[in-house]
Amino acid sequence: MLYAVFMSAVLPPFPKPEQPVGEPELLQLGSAEDEPCLRADAARNRARLLDAAARLIAQHGAAGVTMEAVAAEAAVGKGTVFRRFGDRTGLLTALLDHSERKFQAAFLAGPPPLGPGAPPMERLRAFGCAMLRRSVDELDLQLAAEPSPDRRFSAPALRVLHGHVVLLLRMAVPDADCELLAHTLMAQLNPALIHHLTKQCGMPLERLEANWADLVARVTCIEPPR
C-alpha cells in the first residue's frame, strides 16, 4: 500500500547497504489541504483554476501562465489564485502534481521493468528513459516550475526521485558512493539539459535514451541488452 509523504514531512534516512532495502514511499507534491477532504466548493474552485492554467499553457506555453492571467481566464479575483497556490511556482507545481503522482506510482508499484520485479539495473534503465520521455512531453511546464537554486536538490519530489536511484544503485553496486553517484546520473535527466539537447542542439529523444542506457552500463559495469 502506498502512503503520502507531504512537503512538511522529513523523509527517513536511506538504509546502509547491509540493511534491507525497501521502496521509498509515494510522495505528494501538494499540501495536506489539497487532498480530497477539501470542501466540495473549494475543490471545484481549485479544479477550475487548474483547468484555466492548463488552457493558458495549451494556448501560450508556460510563459503565458501568470497569476493575473489565470484569474482572468477563470473569472475570479487575483487574490483567489494567490490564496489557493501562494505564487506562480506553487500554481505550476500543482499542475505537475497529477503527472508526478502517476510517475511515482509507476516506478514504486507499477509493472516491471519500471516497477518492482525486474533486476535493479533494468529498472534503472527504464526509470531514466521514462523520465526523459516525460520531460520531453512536459518540458515547457517543467522548466517553468524548476525550483530555485536553494531548493533544487531539496524539493520533496526530487528527493524521492533521487532516493529511488540511490536505492537501485545500492542493490546493484553496494560498494559505490551511491548518494553521489545518484546525483551524477540524475544530472542527465535535468529538464534544463534536456531542453538544451533537444531544442537547441536538435538531438532526438532516442539518442538521449541510448546514452542513458550506456551511462548506466558504464557506471555499473553491466552491459545493456542489445
Q: Could you give the dihedral angle defined by the CA atoms of residues 152, 188, 15 and 151, in that order, rounded to the nearest 10 degrees?
A: 0
Instruction: State which residues form the domain around 128.
Output: 32-220
- What is the tens place of the pLDDT at every residue in 74-132? 999 999 999 999 998 888 888 888 788 889 999 999 999 999 999 999 999 999 999 99
Structural domains counted in the chain: 1
As given in the structure block, the three cell numbers for residue 79 are: 487574490
- C-alpha span between 107 and 185 (Å, rounded): 17
Residue 45 lies in a domain: yes
pLDDT tens digit string along 35-53? Answer: 444 577 777 888 889 888 8
**What are the tens digits of pLDDT across the range 13-33?**
433 433 434 544 444 444 444
Domain assignment of residue 154, yes or no: yes
Q: Please report, for the domain that includes residue 51, its CATH number.
A: 1.10.357.10
- At 94, which amino acid appears? A
Query: Whole-prediction pTM value?
Result: 0.70
pLDDT in the model for residue 92 = 83
Whether 132 is covered by a domain: the verdict is: yes
